[in-house]
Structure 1
Amino acid sequence: MEDWLFYLLTLFICIFLTLLLSQSRKGPSLPPGPRSPVISLIRSPFEFESFIRGLFQKHGPVISIKVLTRSTVFIGDRAAAYQAFVQQGATFGDRPTSNPAGQILSSGQKNISSAKYGPVWRALRRNLTAEILHPSRVQMYGPARKWMLSILIDGLKAQMEKEGSVVAMESFLFSMFCLLVFMCFGDKLDEAKIREIEEVQKQSMLIFVKLQVFSIFPRITKIIFWKRWNKLLSIRKRQEEIFLPLIRARKEKKEGEDISFSYVDSLLALEIPEGGGRKLTEGEMVSLCSEFLTAGTDTTATALQWIMANLVKQPHIQQKLWNEIEQVVGNDSDEVKEDDLQKIVYLKAVVLEGLRRHPPGHFVLPHTVSQDSELNGYRIPKNAPINVLVANIGCDGSIWSDPFDYRPERFMKGGEGEGVDLTGTKEIKMMPFGAGRRVCPGMALALMHLEYFVANLVKEFEWKEINEEKVDLAEKLEFTVVMKRPLKAHIVPRR
C-alpha cells in the first residue's frame, strides 16, 4: 500500500514539473511516446514489456517515456541499436548514475556492469578479460568444469532415483554456482560454505528488483521504505562477512604454493587509475566478486534450462544432436571434451537458437549518453537512460523466418543465421550479450559452458517429456527471464 500512495503523489508532482519545464525546450524533438510522465515502477515487468512493445507499434523503433522529469529512451529495432551502440559506441557507452541502494551494492559503481565509461571501467574489464577469461586461463579451469559436470550428473541421477523425474533448474544452478565459486575464490569449498554464499547472493538478487524506489527522492524514500533500506544494509553486511575471510585467505597464501589462480588473485594485484593509481578496497573486491558470481551463474543456468526444455519438447532435434555427438566422440568416451565442441557443428546451432529465442534478459542493462546526441533524427539528452528490447530484435520477422519457432537449422549453412556476429560489430541480428563496447565480456566463456554442458547432458541421458506434465514455455521474470513452470523431465541413462 505504501508503494501505491508514494507513486500516486509522485505522479502529480511529475505532471506539474513536466508542464513547467516543457515550455522552454527547443531544438530537435525527443523520440515519440506518451506525453505524460509514466511511473513504470507500478507495472509488473511483463506488463511493462508489453507496454513498450505497444509504443513501438504506435510510434516506431525509437521511443521515449518520462519517469519524473527525465526521459528514458527505448530501442526496438536492430538498425537503431547498431547506430547507437556500434557506430556511436563511445557516446552511448556510459552508464546512468546508480541510486543510493545501487551505490552500496556496487561500492560506488566500482564494478564492471555499472562503472562509468572511462579509465576505471577499462581497467576492471581488462583485468577480467586478460586474467580470467583469456583462452589460456579458461583452459586451465578444464578439470574444474569436469568436476562440476560430475556434480551435475550425480545430482540428476539421485533426483531421478528418488523422485522418478528431475526438476533440472535446481541442479543447473547449483552446479554452475560451484564452478563460479571455484573460479572466483580458487578453492573447492565444502557444500555448506557454497550454500552459504549462494544464499546471500540469492537475497541480494531478490532485493535488487525492489530497489528502484530509491531512485525517486532518495532522502524521502529511505524514510518511507526504511525496512527495505535496512534489509539492504543487512544483506550487504552479510556479504562482507562471508566474502572477506575468503579474500583475505587468498592474500595470505604462501608464495609458490600450488593453488589455482582465481579472480580474487587478479583483484588483489590490480591497480585502478584513480587518485594517481591505487589498489582496490576490500569493499570493492566484495562487489566485484558478487558481480562475477551473479553474472556467470543465473544467465548461463537460465539459458541452459531453455535449451534443454526445447530439446525435450522436440525429441527429433535432441536425436539429431546426439547422433552428431556420437559420430564425433563415440560411445566409449565418458565426456565430450572442450576440444570436441568445435567439431559438433549442430551443437552450436542448438545453443544459438536457444539464445535467440529465449535470451535470459529481455532488456540490456541501461546505457546513457555522455553528451547531447541524436538517434534516428531524434534528440537524446545527455545522461538520458537508454535501453534495448533484446527479445524484440531476436524475433524480428524481417530477419528470422517463423521467428517464434525453435529451429536450430537456421544457424546452419544457408540459413538466415549462418555466421551470425554476436558482438554486433558488422550488424546486429540478435544481441543476447548486448553489443558494442559494453558487450558482455564473458560471452565466449558463456557460449563454451553452454555447449559443453548441453553436449554432455545429451550424451549422458535421453531427456523425455512427462505425459502428465508437458513442457510449458511460458515465461516469468525473476533476476532473469525463466520458465514459469521449471523444466521437469524423465532422464534415461544412455550407457
Structure 2
Amino acid sequence: MECVSGLLVLLAVASFILLLIKKQSKKGTQHRPPGPPGWPVIGNLLDLGTMPHQTLYRLQFEYGPVLWLKLGSVSTMVVQSAKAAAELFKNHDVDFCDRKYPDSLTAHNYCQGAVAFSNYGVYWRLLRRLYSMELHVSKRLNETTHTRRKCIDNMIKFIEEDAEASRARGESGEVNLGHYLFLMAFNVVGNLVLSKDILDSKSKEGHEFYEALSKVSEWASKPNVADYFPFLKWLDPVGIKRNMVRDMGRTMKIVAQLVAERVEEKKLAKERENNFLDLLLEYEGDGKEGPDKISQQNLKVIVLEMFSAGSETVSSSIEWGMTELLRNPDSMRKAKEELNSIVGASRKVEESDIEDLQYLQAVVKETLRLHPPAPLLLPRNARQNTNYMGYFVPKDTQILVNVWAIGRDPNTWEDPLSFKPERFLGSQIDYKGQNYELIPFGAGRRICPGMSLAEREVHIALASLIHYFDWELGSGTTPETMDMNESMGVAVRKLVPLKVQPKKRI
C-alpha cells in the first residue's frame, strides 16, 4: 500500500513538472522584449542596485530602448526612449493605465482612495475631474496666487533670519536650502487644502502631522521583499506593512481632526473662501456609495496624498534647479540679468512675470530633463495581454517609464549630460505630455494631476530665490566639487543637501 502511495506521489510530481516545462516552453514562444539574464527565483533583482533608474539607463545601450526584467516573480517592462514612450501613451495608454502599487500602500486602503494609485475606473475619473477642473484649472490657480506669494515671502524671511542669526553667532550664515523649500511647499498645500499654514511655530498638530507623514514617506519608498514575491505579503517579512499601518494611522487621525475643525469653521461662518477640502466635503458620501461620492476614509486619503505628493516633488525640483545654477555660474548670471531686466531691483517677482522670463522657463525645463522628481514615474500595470511594438506583454506586467533615461538619450539630445538651458530657447518642446522626449510629469490619462500647480510653484520660488539673494557655496565647496549624487525616496533628492550662504540683493 505504501508503495502504491509513493508511486502516486511520484506520478503527481512528474506530471506537475511536465506541465510546468510545457507551460514555460509555451511562454518561450511568445516574443518578449530583450533583457539581461536573471538568477533563479530572484530574477534581476540584484542587477538594479540602489539607483535603478541609472542602472536601467546603462542597460539600454546593450539591450535597446524596451527592456524586459524579472523582479522576483514580477514581470516588468521598462520603456526608455521617446519613440517607445510615444507608442505607449498614444496607442496603449488604456492597456497600461492601471497601477502596480507597493504592498505598504494597501495600509488603510490608501491605494484604493488615492488618485495616483487607484485603478482606472469610475472613482478615478471622479477624482481626476475634481483635480483638473476645480483645483488646477487656471481660474482657480489665479485665485490662489496670493497664497503662494505668502508662503514664498515667509520662506525668504526665514532664510534671511536664520542666516543672520548664524552670522551673529560667528558662523558662516550657511543654510540648508532644501529644508526651507520643503516647508514652503508643505504650507502651500496646507493653505490650498485647509486654508492654514500647517507648519508654523504655533501648530503642534502640524509638526506631529509632518513627522508622521515623513515616516509614511519612508515606508512607502523602502524596498520590500513582499512586492517582488507577493505570496509573502501575508507574512510581511521585513515589517514594512506593519510600520505603515501604524504611522499612516497616526496621519489619518490628525487629518480627521483637521477635517472636523474645518467643518466646524464653515458652520460658524468663520471662513467664506472655499478650499479644496470644502469641495471634497460636497462629494462626501456619509457612508453611502455611488459614482459621485467620496467615502470618509477616502477623503482622508486624498488630503494625505495632497501633502505627500505636493511637497517633496516640488521642493526637490527647486533644489536641483538651484544646484545646477550654482554649478553653472554663467547660467546663473543669465537668469539674474533677465530678472533685472524684466522685474528690476525695486519689487518682488510675481507669477504674472513668469511668461516674460523665457530664460527662467528654459532653466526649469532643463532641470526637469536632468532631474525628474519621479525618474521611473509611478509603475503602471497591464490590464490585458497586449502587443506592444511587436512584443508580447502579458496581463499584470509591471510597466516602468524611465523618464530619467529619456532625458539623457543621446539619440534625442545633443550633449545630453550637460546643463544647457539655451537648448530650450526658441524651442516648442514642453513638459505637458505632448513631447515624449520630455515627460517628467508623465503623459496620457495618468499624467500628474498636480502639474499646473507644481509648474507655478517651481517657477515663482526659483525666480524669487535668484532675485532676492546672491548665493555663495559654503564649506569650501566649488562649482566643480559640488556633490550631485542622488537619494531615492518619494522623490529623488540630493544625497548631500544644498548648503549655501544667502546675501540679500533687493
Q: Give TM-score scaled by structure 1 length.
A: 0.89
Alignment partners' CA distance in 1, 2:147 and 2:335? 25
- CA shift, 1:340, in A, is 1.1
Against the structure 1 CA distance between its residues 224 and 458, is the aligned structure 2 distance closer, same or farther, given a 3 Å change threshold? closer
- Matching residue of 1:127: 130
Query: Do 2:177 and 2:499's aligned partners in 1 also have CA atoms closer than 8 Å?
Result: yes
Q: Secondary structure at the match of 1:223?
A: coil
Instruction: Write the letter of the residue equivalent to 2:246.
Output: S
Alignment partners' CA distance in 2, 1:224 and 1:277? 33
Cα distance per residue 1:256-296 (max 9 Å; x no partner) = 54343222112211268x95436322221121111111111
- Matching residue of 1:12: none
Instruction: Write the letter of the residue equivalent to 2:87.
Output: Q
Alignment partners' CA distance in 1, 2:393 and 2:473? 49
Alignment partners' CA distance in 1, 2:148 and 2:19? 55
Instruction: Write the letter of the residue equivalent to 1:290.
Output: L
- Matching residue of 1:402: 415
The residue correspondences of 1:201-212 to structure 2 (distance < 5 A) are 201-210=213-222, 212=224
- Which of 142, 158, 166 lines up with 2:175 in the alignment? 166
Alignment partners' CA distance in 1, 2:362 and 2:355? 11
The residue correspondences of 1:230-241 to structure 2 (distance < 5 A) are 230-241=242-253
- Matching residue of 2:52: 48
**1:365 equivalenced with 2:378 (yes/no):** yes
- CA shift, 1:67, in A, is 2.9
- Which of 73, 77, 82 lines up with 2:77 in the alignment? 73
- Matching residue of 2:453: 445
Q: Secondary structure at the match of 1:46?
A: coil
Deviating more after overlay: 402-411 vs 251-260 = 251-260
- CA shift, 1:86, in A, is 2.2
Q: Secondary structure at the match of 1:25?
A: helix
**1:316 equivalenced with 2:330 (yes/no):** yes
Query: Do 1:268 and 1:279's aligned partners in 2 also have CA atoms closer than 8 Å?
Result: no
Cα distance per residue 1:29-88 (max 9 Å; x no partner) = 111224445455556653533442343222211111113444211111110111012232
Cα distance per residue 1:203-254 (max 9 Å; x no partner) = 0010112363333555644435374333222112211211101112223322
- CA shift, 1:175, in A, is 1.4
Against the structure 1 CA distance between its residues 265 and 403, is the aligned structure 2 distance closer, same or farther, given a 3 Å change threshold? same
The residue correspondences of 1:254-269 to structure 2 (distance < 5 A) are 254=267, 257-269=270-282
Q: Secondary structure at the match of 2:315?
A: helix
Q: Secondary structure at the match of 2:27?
A: coil
Alignment partners' CA distance in 1, 2:475 and 2:251? 43
Instruction: Write the letter of the residue equivalent to 2:189.
Output: L
- CA shift, 1:316, in A, is 2.2
Deviating more after overlay: 49-58 vs 138-147 = 49-58
- Which of 350, 356, 364 lines up with 2:363 in the alignment? 350
Query: Do 1:321 and 1:346's aligned partners in 2 also have CA atoms closer than 8 Å?
Result: yes
**1:291 equivalenced with 2:305 (yes/no):** yes
- Which of 415, 422, 436 lines up with 1:428 in the alignment? 436
Alignment partners' CA distance in 2, 1:257 and 1:93? 42
Instruction: Write the letter of the residue equivalent to 2:94.
Output: A
- Matching residue of 2:26: 24
Against the structure 1 CA distance between its residues 106 and 410, is the aligned structure 2 distance closer, same or farther, given a 3 Å change threshold? farther
- CA shift, 1:135, in A, is 1.2
Deviating more after overlay: 354-363 vs 203-212 = 203-212
Cα distance per residue 1:323-349 (max 9 Å; x no partner) = 21122122111x111111111111101
Alignment partners' CA distance in 1, 2:424 and 2:322? 18
Against the structure 1 CA distance between its residues 424 and 490, is the aligned structure 2 distance closer, same or farther, given a 3 Å change threshold? same
- Matching residue of 1:150: 153
Against the structure 1 CA distance between its residues 117 and 136, is the aligned structure 2 distance closer, same or farther, given a 3 Å change threshold? same
Number of positions where the alignment pairs a residue of Structure 1 with one of Structure 2: 473
Q: Secondary structure at the match of 1:23?
A: helix
Alignment partners' CA distance in 2, 1:472 and 1:217? 36
- CA shift, 1:101, in A, is 2.9
- Matching residue of 2:489: 478
Q: Report sequence identity in percent.
A: 27
Instruction: Write the letter of the residue equivalent to 1:111.
Output: A
Against the structure 1 CA distance between its residues 488 and 99, is the aligned structure 2 distance closer, same or farther, given a 3 Å change threshold? closer
Query: Do 2:221 and 2:488's aligned partners in 1 also have CA atoms closer than 8 Å?
Result: no
Query: Do 1:300 and 1:450's aligned partners in 2 also have CA atoms closer than 8 Å?
Result: yes
Q: Tell me, which stretches of 5 or more residues in structure 2 are unaligned?
A: 1-16
Alignment partners' CA distance in 2, 1:47 and 1:349? 27
Query: Do 1:222 and 1:229's aligned partners in 2 also have CA atoms closer than 8 Å?
Result: no
Against the structure 1 CA distance between its residues 458 and 388, is the aligned structure 2 distance closer, same or farther, given a 3 Å change threshold? same
- Matching residue of 2:343: 329
Against the structure 1 CA distance between its residues 478 and 214, is the aligned structure 2 distance closer, same or farther, given a 3 Å change threshold? same
- Which of 471, 479, 501 lines up with 1:490 in the alignment? 501
- Matching residue of 2:474: 466
Deviating more after overlay: 274-283 vs 197-206 = 274-283
Query: Do 1:86 and 1:424's aligned partners in 2 also have CA atoms closer than 8 Å?
Result: no
Query: Do 2:31 and 2:392's aligned partners in 1 also have CA atoms closer than 8 Å?
Result: yes
Instruction: Write the letter of the residue equivalent to 1:457.
Output: L
Against the structure 1 CA distance between its residues 343 and 460, is the aligned structure 2 distance closer, same or farther, given a 3 Å change threshold? same
- Matching residue of 1:10: none
Alignment partners' CA distance in 2, 1:215 and 1:390? 22
Alignment partners' CA distance in 2, 1:16 and 1:137? 63
- Matching residue of 2:35: 33
Q: Secondary structure at the match of 1:89?
A: coil
Against the structure 1 CA distance between its residues 399 and 172, is the aligned structure 2 distance closer, same or farther, given a 3 Å change threshold? same
Against the structure 1 CA distance between its residues 388 and 149, is the aligned structure 2 distance closer, same or farther, given a 3 Å change threshold? same
Query: Do 1:312 and 1:489's aligned partners in 2 also have CA atoms closer than 8 Å?
Result: no
Give the root-mean-square deviation of aligned CA atoms. 2.5
Alignment partners' CA distance in 2, 1:220 and 1:17? 24
The residue correspondences of 1:379-418 to structure 2 (distance < 5 A) are 379-413=392-426, 418=427
- Matching residue of 2:194: 185
- CA shift, 1:168, in A, is 0.5
Against the structure 1 CA distance between its residues 165 and 382, is the aligned structure 2 distance closer, same or farther, given a 3 Å change threshold? same
